[in-house]
Each structure stands twice: as C-alpha cells, then as structure tokens.
Amino acid sequence: MRFYDEMNYVQEAENALKFMRLMAPLKEVTAPQPYFDLTSRKILTMKWINGKRLVDAEPSEINRLVNIGTSCYLMQLLETGWFHADPHPGNMIRTDDGKLCIIDFGLMSEVEDYQKFGMIQAITHLANRDYTLITKDFADLDFLPKDANYDEYTPALANVFDKALAGGGAKAINFNDLSADLAKITFELPFRIPPYFALIIRAISVLEGIALVGDENFAVIDEAYPYIAKRLLTDDSPQIKSALNNVILGDDGKIDIDKMIDLLQSFEKYAKINSFAMDKGLMQISRDELKGSTGESSSNSQSIERTREALIFFFSDDGSYLRNLLEETVIDGIDSLSKSAVIELTKRLLDQN
C-alpha cells in the first residue's frame, strides 16, 4: 500500500506542504515548495533548492544541522505524530543559506497519541533506571503481549539497559547497540518490534550514521534530550506532567535540584539550536540590555544571557507548573531541607556558568 502511495505525486506534494506547515516553528528547517498547477499523479514539480547533501557538508555544518534535524524528527515523532519515514542521506540537504532542507515526502507514517506519550514516558523512566515502569511502557507500546507477566521481562530489560547506560548514563546510549540487544530478547521471550517502531529505528539510525561522519562521539539520546526537556517543561498534558514529576522528584517526593538544573540547561540548548523563545518580548529586552552593558567579557555576557533565558522561562506563564511544584514542595514539607532546596535552586540559577 505504501509503495503505491509513493507513486502518487499529488499526494507527495500535499505531504510536502503539510510538512512545511507543521515544521514552521523550526526556522532552520525547510522543504521545496510544490507547484500544484504543474503537478499530476505522475509528475511532481517543486521549487529548485540550491545546496549539497548534508553528508557532504563540512563536519561543523553536519554537527549543527544534525542537531536541528534531530529536533525536527522528534517534533514529528513525539508532537505531530506524522513523520518522514525515509530520511536517507540523499533526502537531507544543506542549503546555500545554511538551512536543513528535507526532500522526498512519498513515504510518511504516523504514530498514535498513546505511542507518542508512551515513548516520552519510556525515555524519562530510562533516565531514572526505573525498569519496572519501563517494562509497563514496553507493554503499552505493543512490544509485549497485553497479558504478559512483567516479572519475567523486567530482569531481561534491566540487563539490556544496564549495559546501555554503563559509562555515561541515558544521554550517552548508542541507539544501534541498544536496538540490537533488544532484538535478542525476541529469541528468549514473547517480544516483538512493532512495525511503526521499525520505521523509527531506521530513521534514527540514518540520522546517527550521518552525524557520525561529522562527530565520531555523537550520541542520539544526548542530542534528543534538549527536545525532551522542552516537551517536559512546556506541555500541559497530564501524561507529560507525570513524566516531568518522574524526572525531577526524588523518592522522598522532594525536588532533585541537580536534575532540575540539568533540565533547564537542556531546554536552553534546545532554544539556542532552534531559535526558540518562550517570551520573545522579554527575551528581546534581555538581549538589548546585554548589548548595552559595558565592561563585561563576551563569555560572561553569554553566561548572563543563558541565565536570564532560564529565569525568563521559569517566571513565564509556561514555567508556572515548575513554580507551583516548588511551592507545593515547601508547603508540604516546611522543614529546613525543603527550604534549602529552594534556596539552592535560586542560587544556582543565578550563579551558573
């Protein structure tokens, strides 16, 4: 069926237009404009794009644009639920003006809401090494039979993820190695790779392969975490708020300051890569103030700007959930530990380098 979809050029032109609309928030991502008056089922006409294959670009440009491409792919996969299922090296171009151009929209696929939220929750549970919940996540994502005995799967998954997490944590996972180890479980237990996830694995593997040309130390999860941080901090859905709680709340129900700082800094990285600002008015004020400041080094000015961006988010409407969570922590446990946690957070936001 998908083979015939790829042969319908009217559908492919509509896919390209839909992609451009959905990816509009990512200013560094583009696609060729289709010309519908010159397109038919057998002929596709699109705007000419000047550039070169991403894999043939300079290593620094590969690194920069793969980071943008990772955010683009995650936005498709975990936000819109509609994604480009054929991102091979020939379908990604570095344009002459430095943008990432995606082409060839014949093969597209979709994930449902429960799959989107399930993948985000699985990533956050992985970061916390909560293998019991990861087993449940895998069942929800159709890797395990609905009537599976979780106790049989948790040790096998724990072995796989302990190996993957060794020497760097969740953000340093080698995705190809992890996928291979997960596939081995299929020989031991009733475990399958769902068809939708096979397309995801293929797409991520292609991104990783291109990235390794520019940086031999590239790690997919490491580059994906800024987008995950953005979703955790800005999505109002109950499922995402639950995932956020899993990330920043310790076993005692109190906020883990180190994890919260890591989350805010990762969000700043996403904002920088994708020209994303929570409050453009306030952001512009802070930058104008920086431009007008005197007697500060360039690196110190950049550090101040990063701090202000984190604080702008923290005190914006989008940061209200974090503020409320801090208030609840203090109210629910008016003790020196809770108070010191809030003091430490404030101090580190203001003093981070």
> What is the tens place of the pLDDT at every residue in 3-61?
455 578 999 999 999 999 999 999 999 999 999 999 999 999 999 999 999 999 999 99
β 51-53/92-95 pair status: antiparallel
User: Where are any strands of DSSP class E within the chain?
Assistant: 29-30, 51-53, 82-84, 92-95, 100-102, 108-110
Q: Can you tell me the distance from the alpha carbon of 301 to that of 292, in angstroms, rounded to the nearest whole number?
A: 11
Compute CA 77 distance to the chain's CA centroid, rounded to the nearest angstrom. Answer: 9
pLDDT at 322: 67
β 29-30/51-53 pair status: unpaired
> What is the tens place of the pLDDT at every residue in 114-123?
999 888 888 8
| Tokens (6 digits) for 217 | 């130390």
Domain architecture of the chain: domains with CATH: 2-110 (1.10.510.10), 221-351 (no CATH)
Statement: the pTM of the whole predicted model exceeds 0.85? no
Q: Can you tell me the distance from the alpha carbon of 93 to that of 56, in angstroms, rounded to the nearest whole number?
A: 9
| Known catalytic residue at 113 | no
Of the residues 86, 104, 137, 235, only one is catalytic, namely: 86
Q: In which residue ranges of the chain is pLDDT below 50?
A: 1, 3, 277-300, 302-304, 307, 333-336, 353
> What is the tens place of the pLDDT at every residue in 62-88?
989 988 888 899 899 989 999 998 888
pLDDT at 281: 34
At CA 25, angle to CA 115 and CA 92, rounded to 5? Answer: 75
Other beta carbons less than 10 A from residue 216's beta carbon: 8
Cβ 10 vs Cβ 39: under 8 Å:
yes
